[in-house]
């Protein structure tokens, strides 16, 4: 009996693919090796920044979704449809910002520690010029990694400012809930830049 051939599952395309959650979310285990591999580190950040990159479209979709939910089920009488859409997107944004902050800060610590260890190894070496050159090359490579990882802190501030501006333009009357002080602080910092 021949093997049954199943048609490939149709991938989500277009704005639905960006707006909807992944059907197969992937849990990424972050390790020191993640931080040492700059292309992997930047790739993870790129995935995390997709929400920020599509903020206007996501606000439009969330607003339309909330209008539909209100029409079908009725939503909270205390908040407008737009307020509820803005709050939903805000929660997604700050959760994403927290994950990225955690990743960047972890990797900053890893590459800084690695550099300290290499410098200590350099001081402990005898006068063997070959070993010194090898460790010096590793120090230089670690300094490059350190600079790239630290630059992500500045990139993060720029991305958050751009997203906060777009969000505030659409959600002019939104104020961050008092229930999450860390998220509220991140939001206020992004708004002030």
Helices 129-170 and 38-48, interaxial angle, to 10°? 10
Confidence tier at 155 by pLDDT (50, 70, 90): very high
């737009």: which residue's tokens?
82
Neighbouring residues of 122: CB distance < 8 A, sequence distance ≥ 6: 132, 135, 136, 139
Between CA 133 and CA 118 the distance in angstroms is 12
Confidence tier at 104 by pLDDT (50, 70, 90): very high
Tell me the average pLDDT across 77-106.
84
Between CA 133 and CA 162 the distance in angstroms is 44
User: Residue 126's CB: how many other CB atoms inside 10 A?
Assistant: 7
Supply the pTM of this predicted model.
0.73
pLDDT at 14: 39
Q: Cα–chain-centroid distance for residue 174? A: 22
Tell me the average pLDDT across 13-21.
41
Q: Detail the DSSP E strand segments found in 53-142.
A: none
């Amino acid at each position: 009996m021949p093997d049954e051939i199943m048609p490939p599952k149709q991938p989500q395309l277009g704005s639905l693919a960006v707006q909807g959650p992944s059907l197969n979310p992937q849990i990424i285990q972050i390790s020191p090796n993640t931080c040492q591999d700059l292309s992997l580190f930047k790739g993870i950040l790129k995935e995390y920044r997709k929400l920020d990159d599509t903020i206007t479209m996501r606000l439009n979709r969330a607003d339309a979704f909330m209008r539909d939910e209100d029409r079908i089920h009725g939503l909270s009488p205390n908040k407008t449809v737009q307020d509820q859409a803005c709050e939903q997107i805000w929660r997604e944004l700050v959760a994403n910002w927290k994950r990225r902050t955690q990743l960047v800060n972890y990797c900053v610590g890893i590459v800084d520690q690695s550099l300290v260890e290499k410098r200590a190894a350099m001081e402990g070496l005898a006068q063997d010029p070959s070993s010194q050159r090898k460790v010096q090359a590793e120090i230089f490579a670690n300094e490059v990694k350190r600079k790239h990882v630290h630059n992500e802190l500045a990139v993060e501030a720029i991305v958050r400012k751009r997203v906060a501006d777009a969000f505030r333009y659409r959600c002019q009357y939104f104020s961050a809930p008092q229930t999450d002080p860390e998220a509220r602080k991140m939001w206020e910092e992004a708004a002030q830049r």
